[in-house]
Each structure stands twice: as structure tokens, then as C-alpha cells.
Amino acid sequence: MTKYREILRLKSPGFSERNIALSCSVSRKTVAKVTARAQELNISWPLDDSQTDAVLEETMFPKTKSDAAIKRMPDYDYIRRELLKNGVSKKLLWMEYCEECRMNGEYPLMYSQFCYYIQQDEQKRRATMHIPRKPGEQVEVDWAGDPAHIIDPDTGEITNAYLFVGVMTYSQYTYVEAFINEKQQAWITAHVHMYDFFGGVAKIIVPDNCRTAVNHNKGWYTQELNTTYHEMAEHYGTAIIPARVRRPKDKPNAEGSVGNISTWITAALRNEQFFSLSELNQAIREKLDKFNANLFQKKEGSRRSLFLGEEQPLLLPLPATRYELAEWKQATVQFNYHISIDKMHYSTPYEYIKRKVNARITDKTIEIFFDHKRVASHRRLYGRPGQYSTIVEHMPLDHQKYLEWNGDRFREWAKRIGNNTHEVINAILASGRVEQQSYRSCMGLLKLADKYSVSRLEAACEKALSYTASPSYKSIKSVLTAVQENTLPDTEKPESTQNNYGITRGARYYGGKKA
């Protein structure tokens, strides 16, 4: 804005227009115009403090309503939405805007003005806010963009090593570790090592919106955390608040540290060769210690001093044990009330047959959950595929009884009936290639006591032993049946089928099947 007050002040003692123009950084023509207009309006120095440059400009050179003032301004919200669509440009939107103005009898802006006003609106939307951070409240985590490299000493093959970065938002104290990949196991292991490095746990974790952290099948407002990641957070007593997709300002400290790590660690090690992951991580730790110890440029201290002095005492304490990495799988309980995990079979209560359950898998245990309730737990099986881990209580009652069958039990049962029955049971158990093959015959024989009585079974066994030293279940049953028929009254005996009428042609004689 023109310095009207200064021009009038310098004109009062009689300075020349040339000197006034040089002092106020305006042209001599402007000085002449301002002084002439002030004489017309009887405005002279000294002036009141209320007569600022803006007031003097409005008084001496009031603005007239120009054509630009009546021109229609663009709809910024509509333009911003349309520019997000493929193929839509400012030129196209300006042409549509001009056509709409002409149809409504309004004056459009020129293309340069149109673009200028859109740019001004965009700059207003780019306003940022400084959010004060509390010590020990939040840690931001991410994968660094540029990987390091490991060389195979035998083949010379180069393998990428990806850098995990964790940053405390208050002190900017940083943790870095290299991993062969960015999969779930590396992600969880990095967090466990990071908490050990910090010596405590921040209340909030702000990760990137990656698949190892967030289930992408849900929307932004209904985000669902990865099951293993959520379980790890519960173990450490922290909360997870993922950053929005393509919103780096949600975790500015991690994003800024990624750039610093690329310079002070990755680039600093560019001329060194590493032949193992542990060797690379050892070199990274040395560089990291120096990085955290570097003094700040615009404030006192370093990342380490600020972290140790103000932030670490406010971190949550570490749990008694480290988090054990677990994998989750969904399985259906089969009719044999088992689920299959890595070709091994683990039992669940038979009530859950054909239900879908969730299995939590660790190196040592298999835990089975239904509706977030644990219903079974097994020691993990290794070795030969097809092994079964079965808990008796998971079986139906009749299956549990079947498991209780064994030779000693059958012998004790038979001994209570009598010596003959005991001798027959011993003979039946010895008749098969393996003892288990005769369990059904033993069970059937002993069940005959319920049908015919204990004394009659003992007598039938005695009679059968008089014929052979190795009677079978079938022979004992035949003896009992014959004895029962002989002791029945005549009215209860089955009718005779003997033919009393001589020879009679049968069905075969007439071409039919034998009866």
C-alpha cells in the first residue's frame, strides 16, 4: 500500500518530489498525484493517528465499483471435487464456468484470474496446526522408504533389508532395526524390540495404514485392526490409532525421521558391505546411538537427553514377559470333533461340531476360541504329520467309554461272573493278532449276562469249554440260544416247519427262485 502519511509528512517541510519518491519507494507521478489531491481536500500535516494509510486512500481515492466486482466468482467446493476426477482440468472447468455465466447474463473471470482465485482457496485449505505433544503419550511407527542391502558371501546375491522406524513424538527419540521383509512376524517383532529399547510403553501407537496393522476390508470410520496386532497392543496395555491413508501429517515425526534415517544411517552405510542381518543391525545401532545423541539445532539438548530426562519416566512399565508372536487361523470343527492345523489334529468339545472357531497358534501352544471364549488348549504337535491331540473331556460319553475298553478291564469283569467266563474271555483276547481286535467280541459276550443272567452265561461257558479250549462269542451265544429253546413250554416253542403231506413241488420246479 502507498505510504500516504509519509508522503504528506515529507511534503510539509518542503522536500522535493524526487526525494520523497526515493524515500517512499514510489514514482514522482504518484507523489504529485497524492499532494495535489490533498490540497484539493484541504488535508495537511500533521494528521490524527486515526488517519491511517488505508483511511487516507479511501478518502482521497475512493474505489469505484469495477467490472471485476460484479463478476461471478467460481464455486470452489465444486471445483475441488471435480479436479479429483480423472481427465478434469482447470481449463475445462473454466470453459464450463464461462458458459454458465453467459447463460445467466453474468460476467466471467478471465482464465488467469480464475486460476488465481482457485490457487488462493487451495492455500487457505493447506493451513496446518501445531499439536502439542505430551511426554510418553505417543509413538509413531513406519517402514523407511529406502532399504539397506545384504550380500550373500557365497553367491554375491544382493538382498534388500527393510528398516523399521519408531519415533517418540515428544522427544523424537528414535529406534531403527532392519528386517528381511515387511510381513506380520517382522512387524510384531520390531514392536517388541522397540519397547525393550525404550524401556517402557507409550500410551498410543500411530502406525501407517498397512495390512499388517489394519484390515482394509473396512472403511475409515469402521476400521478393524489386525487380530495379532491388536492382541500385542492388549499385552502391552497400549492403544492403536492408525494414520489415514495418504495422510503423512497424521504421523509427521515418523515421516520426518524416515528422511533423517535415510541420510544419517542408510546413506552413511552405503559404502560398507554386510553379509548378514545381524551384522547390518549392529552397524545400524552404532549409527543410531550417534543420531540420538546429536544436539538439536533450534533447541537445547538432544533426542536422548530429552527422552531420558522428561519422557522415559512417564512411559508405561513393560509387562513381566515379552509378547509371544501368535498366528490366527479360522477352522471348522469336523465330525470327529477335531480341527486341523498344519496337518496336525486338535480336539474341541463335541458340542462345536461344524462350527467355525478361531485358533491362536504359537510355537508351543494351540488355543481354540469360539465367540472370543477359549474352549480348548493343546500343546503344539511337531514331527510326523497326522498326529492327534485329544482331550477325553471333549468326547461324547459313549466315545469316552470306548476309550476305557482294555484287556484287564474285560478280565476283571469276567472274573466277577465266574471262572469259566474268565477262561473264555482269556481265550478270546488271545485269539486275535492284536488284543484290540477282540474287544468287541468280549463286550458282546459279557453283555449276554444282561440278557440271559449271570448264572446261565457261566453255565454256557462251562459247556462250551467242554467242547473246545478256545470258544468264541458266537459259540457261547449258540449254546445259550439252544438251552433257552429247550427250556421253553410247548406253547412258546416255535411251530415246526416239517412237511406232513409228502413230496411237494417247490418254487424251483415252476421256474421261480428258491425260497
Q: What's the average model confidence in pLDDT over 424-439? A: 82
- Tell me what pLDDT residue 42 has: 87
* pLDDT above 90: residue 305: yes
- Tell me what pLDDT residue 346 has: 94
CATH topology agreement for domains 4-63 and 138-314: no
- Tell me what pLDDT residue 201 has: 93
Q: What's the average model confidence in pLDDT over 413-442? A: 86
* pLDDT above 50: residue 488: no
Range name among 206-215, 275-284, 428-437 with the lowest pLDDT average: 206-215
Q: CATH for 4-63?
A: 1.10.10
* pLDDT above 80: residue 223: no
Nearest to 476 by CA among 464, 487, 465: 464
* pLDDT above 80: residue 513: no
Q: What's the average model confidence in pLDDT over 461-473? A: 88
Q: What percent of the chain has pLDDT over 70?
A: 83
Highest mean pLDDT out of 64-68, 152-156, 312-316: 312-316
Distances (CA, A) of 345 to 299, 350, 360, 394, 514: 61, 14, 14, 13, 52
Nearest to 190 by CA among 203, 173, 207: 207
3-state secondary structure of 143: strand
3-state secondary structure of 179: strand
* pLDDT above 50: residue 267: yes
List, in order, residues 6 or more apart from 125 with CB less than 8 Å away: 80
* pLDDT above 50: residue 494: no
* Mean model confidence pLDDT for the chain: 82
- Reported as a pLDDT band with limits 50, 70 and 90, residue 511 is low
Q: What percent of the chain has pLDDT over 90?
A: 24
Strand partners, 3: none
Q: What's the average model confidence in pLDDT over 405-423? A: 87
For residue 323, give the C-alpha cell: 509378547
DSSP line for 392-422: GGGS-HHHHHHHT--HHHHHHHHHHH-HHHH
* pLDDT above 70: residue 166: yes
Tens digit of each residue's pLDDT (9 = 90 or more) over 70-108:
778 889 889 988 888 888 899 999 999 998 888 888 888
Nearest to 338 by CA among 319, 317, 352, 323: 352
Q: What's the average model confidence in pLDDT over 114-142? A: 80
List, in order, residues 6 or more apart from 176 with CB less than 8 Å away: 144, 163, 164, 165, 166, 261, 265, 284, 288
Q: What's the average model confidence in pLDDT over 385-414? A: 82
Range name among 43-57, 408-422, 454-468 with the lowest pLDDT average: 43-57
Range name among 24-28, 85-89, 249-253, 451-455 with the lowest pLDDT average: 249-253
CA 306 to CA 292: how far, in whole Å? 10
* pLDDT above 60: residue 198: yes
- Tell me what pLDDT residue 105 has: 83
Q: What's the average model confidence in pLDDT over 41-63? A: 84
Q: What's the average model confidence in pLDDT over 327-350? A: 91
Structure-model confidence comparison of residues 130 and 289, the more confident one? 289
Tens digit of each residue's pLDDT (9 = 90 or more) over 227-262:
788 888 899 999 888 875 555 555 555 555 566 777
* pLDDT above 70: residue 312: yes
- Tell me what pLDDT residue 328 has: 82
- Tell me what pLDDT residue 54 has: 85
CA 61 to CA 174: how far, in whole Å? 60
* Residue listed under C-alpha cell 509371544: 324
* Residue listed under C-alpha cell 522428561: 310
DSSP line for 283-343: HHHHHHHHHHHSBPSSSSSBHHHHIIIIIGGGSBPPPSSPPPP-EEEEEE--TTSEEEETT
List, in order, residues 6 or more apart from 303 with CB less than 8 Å away: 171, 172, 173, 174, 291, 292, 293, 294, 296
Specify the pairing of strand 338-341 against strand 138-143: unpaired
* H/E run at residue 482: helix 473-487
Q: Tell me: domain 138-314, CATH 3.30.420.10, correct?
A: yes
- Reported as a pLDDT band with limits 50, 70 and 90, residue 503 is low
* pLDDT above 80: residue 371: yes
- Domain coordinates in residue numbering, the chain: 4-63, 68-125, 138-314, 327-397, 405-487
- Tell me what pLDDT residue 379 has: 92
* pLDDT above 60: residue 476: yes
- Reported as a pLDDT band with limits 50, 70 and 90, residue 316 is very high
- Tell me what pLDDT residue 496 has: 47
Distances (CA, A) of 110 to 52, 91, 104, 119, 197: 33, 11, 17, 14, 60
What is the amino acid identity at position 250?
D
